[in-house]
Structure 1
């Protein structure tokens, strides 16, 4: 009888270990998937936003290739939606402020406003990297 109890207890511990291992594995996979999504979203937002910031500043909206501008804005908007779903509220708020400033940027924008927009962009990139888990760059 003792052997039966010991065998049953051993089987129970084995099943519990398998369940715990599967649960831990699924959690790790979920964290990795989320990190991958956050990284992809950050790149998809940063790339067209950087392009638009530069071109709005130097050319202005009207002087840009409108088809290219629309395509880049669409990419930025898609990534913007994903950022709203994946990132923390302070990061989303900073992104929204940056987008508002982007649409206000023109060739006649004063240098101080342009510099502030650039600093907001750099801060957003740092914040995105921090939330993804990337190591911050040292100057």
Structure 2
């Protein structure tokens, strides 16, 4: 009888260890998936935003290839949606302020205003990095 109890207890402990291991693996996979999505959203926002910011300033809306501009704004809009879903409200608010400033940036924009927009862009990149690094530990 003692062997039956010991065997049953060993089986229960083993089963609990397997269930706990599977659960922890699932948690880790979800965290990695979320981090990957956050990274993709950040890159997908930063890349077209930097391009548009530079070209609005240097070429102006009329000097740009409009098909290219619309494509990049579409990519930026898709990334904005992902940022809204994945990042904290302060990051989202800074992103929206940057987008508003981007729409107002032209070759006629004062140098101080353009520098402020550039600084806002750099702040956003820093905050995106902090949230990416602060949410998950590396595997």
- The alignment's TM-score, normalised by the length of structure 1, stands at 0.94
Q: Hey, what's the Cα distance between the residues in 2 that align with 1:113 and 1:7?
A: 75
Aligned-residue Cα RMSD (Å) equals: 1.0
Q: Distance in 2 between matches of 1:59 and 1:5?
A: 80
Residue 26 (structure 1) aligns with: 26
**Cα offsets for 1:4-51 (capped at 9, x unmatched):** 111111111111100000000011111111111111111111000000
Q: Which runs of 5+ in 1 are unaligned?
A: 135-139
Structure having the higher helix fraction is: 2
- Residues 61-108 of structure 1: CA distance to partner in whole angstroms, max 9, x if unpaired? 122110000000000000010010011111111100000000010111
- Secondary structure of the equivalent of 2:99? helix
Partner of 1:60: 60
The whole-number CA distance in structure 2 between the counterparts of 1:60 and 1:101 is 14
Q: Tell me the TM-score normalized by structure 2.
A: 0.94
Structure 2 gaps, min length 5 = 135-139
For 1:121 and 1:105, the matched residues in 2 are separated by 13
Runs of 4+ in 1 over 6 A off after TM superposition: none
1:28-107 map, 5 Å: 28-107=28-107
1:121 aligns with 2:121: yes
Q: Tell me, what secondary structure is at the counterpart of 1:106?
A: coil
Structure 1 distance, partners of 2:2, 2:89, is: 58
Describe the SS at the equivalent of 1:108.
coil
